[in-house]
Amino acid sequence: MDLNFTKEEQAFRTRVRQFIDNSLPPDIRNKVLNGKRLVKDDFLRWHKILYGQGWITPGWPVEFGGASWNAVQQHIFDEECGDAGAPTIPPFGIRMVGPVIMDFGNPAQQKYFLPKILSGEHWWCQGYSEPGAGSDLASLTTRAERQGDCYIVNGQKSWNTLGQYADWIFCLVRTSKEGRPQEGISFLLIDMKSPGITVRPTIMLDGEHEINEIWFENVKVPVENLVGQENKGWTYAKFLLGLERTGIAAVGRSKRELKRLKEIARRELSNGRPLIEDQRFRDKIAQVELELMALEITTLRVISADHERRTPGPEASILKIKGSEIQQVLAELLMQAVGHYALPYLHEALDAGWQGVPVGADYCAPLAGHYLNMRKTTIYGGSNEIQKNIISKMILGL
């Protein structure tokens, strides 16, 4: 197996790098590389720059407005974006509901929704988890009752990411109680401006408003916003979750964090020497770097296979487990690298242009918040315990 990139792929990398260097706004780059707070405008500005270049949906087929890049090209692009400090485009439209609409939606849905996902006109969020249905998603109770040409939706969704910005939400709803729980679920596209929708913030450990509860009270949803067939939404949900879990691996971002860890370890001192010279700490860096290299190779293999069959397999669970664990280890090592300076978490220091007195070097201020935020990575997208069950059943046959 040849792990080296071809000359064509190296030329593609150069082209991508030059574009990012010339196009990524410096203020956004600085925010990302220094752990500062990103706002909706930051994401949308970068989205529209990529859209103008024709690169906002690198994996989408050309007929739907995508670049139709192969798996290696997509990997190179993600890696270069991560290294340069480009913000991660929220995946809910581009990488999640968009492919579902392409594969299972009708022509009218494709014609209306896909161009607006491409342009950034529609910001999407996800309505899957509920207070009593997280890892056991099939037990969801948010119901949608058919009344004429509408569904009437009532219920609650939790752990909704960035729904405070969203124009639309894709939801799993219960349309039947007959048969197995998975057989009565449907996939609805819901306008967030619909009467009866309430968004309530859930403030996380790091003090940030990233997560929400979404309440539905007699919300009317046109029948034409049903994706695929009624009561067959579990099939589409599994397809989408496979895409989400593959994306959670986030190799490009982890390589950027590894690079940042090494830079900090060269600055921080231990017994009068740079921390990078401490054998035990250097061993920890080497261990996570080896694991990240293995994850990168595995990711390329999995997404190459997915590119051929168009449906992520259970291997996505492996990427989700290892990718999320590596992200947590890197966050922990960054905290360890600055020692006690990481403990006083200054929430206000995440604002760009903050002029307060830092505790330790400037790069210390965001580390505690980043560490707290990364605790969720082994839970969302299906907890790692659930992923191990999937691997045991679908790969090992246990």
Q: Which residues are catalytic?
A: 244
Q: Which two tokens stand for residue 212?
A: 């929400």
How far is residue 350's CA from residue 64's CA, in Å, rounded to a whole number?
38
**Residue whose structure tokens are 């069959």:** 309
DSSP annotation string for 9-25? HHHHHHHHHHHHHHHS-
How far is residue 196's CA from residue 217's CA, in Å, rounded to a whole number?
5
Q: Which two tokens stand for residue 203?
A: 């403030």
> Does residue 132 come out as left (phi exceeding 0), alpha (psi in the -120 to 50 range) or beta?
alpha
Strand, helix or coil at 173? strand
How far is residue 242's CA from residue 75's CA, in Å, rounded to a whole number?
17
Q: Mutual orientation of helices 7-23 and 40-53 as an angle, nearest 10°?
A: 130
Nearest CA among 124, 207, 116 for reference residue 163: 124
Phi, psi of 170 (to 5 degrees): -95, 130
